[in-house]
Amino acid sequence: MSFWSGRRVTVTGGAGFLGSFVVENLRRRGCEEIFVPRSTDYDLVEIEAVRRLYAHARPDILFHLAARVGGIGANRSNPGRFFYENLMMGAQLMEEGRRAGVEKFVGIGTICAYPKFTPIPFKEEDLWNGYPEETNAPYGLAKKMLLVQSQAYRQQYGFNSIVLFPVNLYGPGDSFDQDRSHVIPALIRKCLEAVRGGRPSIEVWGDGTATREFLYAEDAAEGVCLAAERYSGSEPVNLGSGWEVGVKDLAQMIARLTGFAGGIVWDASKPNGQPRRRVDTSRAERLFGFRAKTTLEEGLRRTIDWYRLRMP
């Protein structure tokens, strides 16, 4: 708690999914001065808005969690927008943070930055050994530029910035919008709507053979805050749970937990995305003592319960 005492903190994206958990975690740690810029007031793609943010908030530590993000469908429909907006937000926030004398910059990358055929488990040193999976490569590459900038700024300016690479996040507060949601909220919504509507089956993109690793958002927030407190280095760090699950098994688990007993129809004409994902989490545990606590089934139960109370 003494680390955060008296420090001014800004969290871009602090009203969003991961950001809301990070803000809550910071408050539990004794951080009293937290500023959360809203996109209606600060369009972080625009340099003047970024400068206004620093002039107004005067942060000692800035967490950059804001992102233009979505599932496979959203990435396929908006590759240019996802690349440009994520690139500009990150580059401008770090540059203006350096100019403003920010004590520490905490950037969040994405698992999508890894090459399409990265050996399992993904190790941080494999980040540059190939091109990302095509459907979300523009987004992944834009976020990976945070790492390039972070390392370059530490080398030239001595700027203290770190970049973390979380796996797919899920949990209460996630986006369940049909056009933007990732696989877990999309499956939960489809199953619950099918139960309510008495439908005999649901349709899911891909053939179910891909695998994913998921990290409960509350656990991810703990990892982000631990890294801010304990880690000041140029090397990228994975944040993950260490558990890999097949998309087909995931769909069956969500069907069971939601009470959906119908069929699951796989649309193999749609992309699977990256074939496999599981990260090596040893660096995070070694450098700042992070290990995920929430099992996938428990996290899914909490997420389903949260959304069931809010279904439109």
Query: What are the residue numbers of the active site?
Result: 139
The conformational region for residue 36 under phi > 0 = left, psi -120 to 50 = alpha, else beta, is beta
Give the type of residue at 157: Y
Q: Which two tokens stand for residue 132?
A: 């990302």
**Bridge partners (DSSP) listed for residue 214:** 168
Q: Buried b / exposed e across 74-113, counting CB within 10 Å, b at 16+?
A: bbeebbeebbebbbbbbbbbbebbbebebebbbbbbbbbb
Q: Which two tokens stand for residue 68?
A: 């233009």
In sequence order, which residues have a C-beta less than 8 Å from that of residue 206 and are 6 or more positions away?
247, 266, 267, 268, 270, 271, 272, 273
Comparing C-alpha atoms, which of 293, 171, 288, 286 is closest to residue 242? 293
CB 206 within 8 A of CB 272: yes
Strand 211-216: give its sheet, edge to edge.
Answer: 168-170, 211-216, 244-246
User: At 224, phi and psi to the nearest 5?
Assistant: -60, -45
- What count of Cα atoms within 13 Å lies in the side-chain half-sphere of residue 105? 30
Give the H/E segment covering residue 191.
helix 183-197
CB atoms within 10 A of CB 155: 10
